[in-house]
Amino acid sequence: MKRPVIGPWIAIIIGVIYFLVPLIATFEFSLRMKRGVYSFEAYRVVFGDPNFQASFTYSAVIAIAAILFGILIVVPTAYIVQLKLPRLRPLVEFITLLPLVIPAIVLVFGYLRMYNSSSWIPLTNSVRGTDFLLTCAYVTLALPYMYRAVDTGLRAIDIRTLTEAAQSLGSSWPRILFQVILPNVRVAVLSGAFLTFAIVIGEFTMASLLNRPAFGPYLQLVGANRAYEPAALAIIAFIITWACMGLIQLFGGGRQNATRR
């Protein structure tokens, strides 16, 4: 407090330069497609590319499927562990941390060994099967974030009282889960969902090794063959990530403030 606050400012200025310059440079680069003038030509080309539309749609569909499947697996488990089986908590938390320990490329290598065409469960034999495998792969990638979001959300509400109230009114278990508990943790579930979307939408390794026409492999292909479109795509990807995080803040932030006051 006695000392001047120059140090923190230096840190912040260096940080701002390091973080903003690549964004500015990328944006500037993306506008240079037409010789001599700035234009949004690269964006027009990208958005007009049928492969962009197809791969983005594909990845978005897989992402949404992964989010729904993830919710279906995580919410009941987190709920039961918190309410009935606290002894299982260390095990479940350990499992949800595993995707951070096992790199994605190793995991997909394991899938290729376990689900290849000559295995017991030849998921990679069919297109639908591989899509399902990719969806499960993305559920796995998002598991640490989804579980933590839902678990934190469940801790913030009184699930015991809610459950007992619902039970004494004669609710069945599925009804308690999906009509009582789920609506009460929807903020947490939504933030887990947006985070999943941000992680999964441009994912490259798994989609590429499973040979699916996803957005990540498309990005890589454009990057290897084009000059200005990659910059435009980087800006688009940054905006998508920003939108996902912004939505989390929008939902989560409002709620946090409400409970604190």
**123 vs 210: CA distance, rounded Å:** 11
**112 vs 234: CA distance, rounded Å:** 30
Which range of residues in 54-62, 81-89, 158-166, 178-186 is near other proteins by CB under 8 A? 81-89
- According to CB under 8 A, which one of 111, 142, 150, 187 is a site residue for other proteins? 111
The closest alpha carbon to 69, from 133, 130, 157, belongs to 133
**DSSP calls for 201-220:** TT--HHHHHTT---HHHHHH
**Least CB distance to other proteins at residue 58 (A):** 16
**146 vs 140: CA distance, rounded Å:** 10
The closest alpha carbon to 206, from 120, 97, 130, belongs to 130
**Least CB distance to other proteins at residue 183 (A):** 19
Print the binding letters for residues 57-76 with other proteins: x by CB under 8 A, - otherwise: ---------------xxx-x
Site for other proteins in 189-208 (CB under 8 A): 195, 198-199, 202-205
Site for other proteins in 140-169 (CB under 8 A): 140
- Cβ contacts of 46 within 8 Å, gap of 6 or more: 52, 229, 232, 233, 236
- According to CB under 8 A, which one of 161, 168, 170, 224 is a site residue for other proteins? 224
User: Does the protein bind other proteins through residue 216 (CB under 8 A)?
Assistant: yes
**32 vs 186: CA distance, rounded Å:** 43
Which range of residues in 43-51, 54-62, 98-106, 148-156 is near other proteins by CB under 8 A? 98-106
User: Does the protein bind other proteins through residue 114 (CB under 8 A)?
Assistant: yes
User: Does the protein bind other proteins through residue 136 (CB under 8 A)?
Assistant: yes
Which range of residues in 20-28, 48-56, 151-159, 180-188 is near other proteins by CB under 8 A? 20-28
If the CB atoms of residues 78 and 126 are measured against other proteins, the closer one turns out to be 78
User: Does the protein bind other proteins through residue 88 (CB under 8 A)?
Assistant: yes
Site for other proteins in 241-260 (CB under 8 A): 241-242, 244-246, 248-249
User: Does the protein bind other proteins through residue 46 (CB under 8 A)?
Assistant: no
**Least CB distance to other proteins at residue 63 (A):** 13
Enter the tokens of residue 20.
């903003």
Pair 58, 130: CB distance under 8 Å: no
**126 vs 128: CA distance, rounded Å:** 5
Pair 118, 124: CB distance under 8 Å: no
Enter the tokens of residue 141.
């990638």
User: Does the protein bind other proteins through residue 3 (CB under 8 A)?
Assistant: yes
Q: Residue 57 belongs to what H/E stretch? A: helix 50-83
**Least CB distance to other proteins at residue 74 (A):** 7
**Least CB distance to other proteins at residue 49 (A):** 15
Residue environment code for 181-216, b if the CB has 16+ CB neighbours within 10 A, otherwise e: bbebbebbbbbbbbbbbbbbbbbbbbbbbbebebbb
User: Does the protein bind other proteins through residue 90 (CB under 8 A)?
Assistant: no
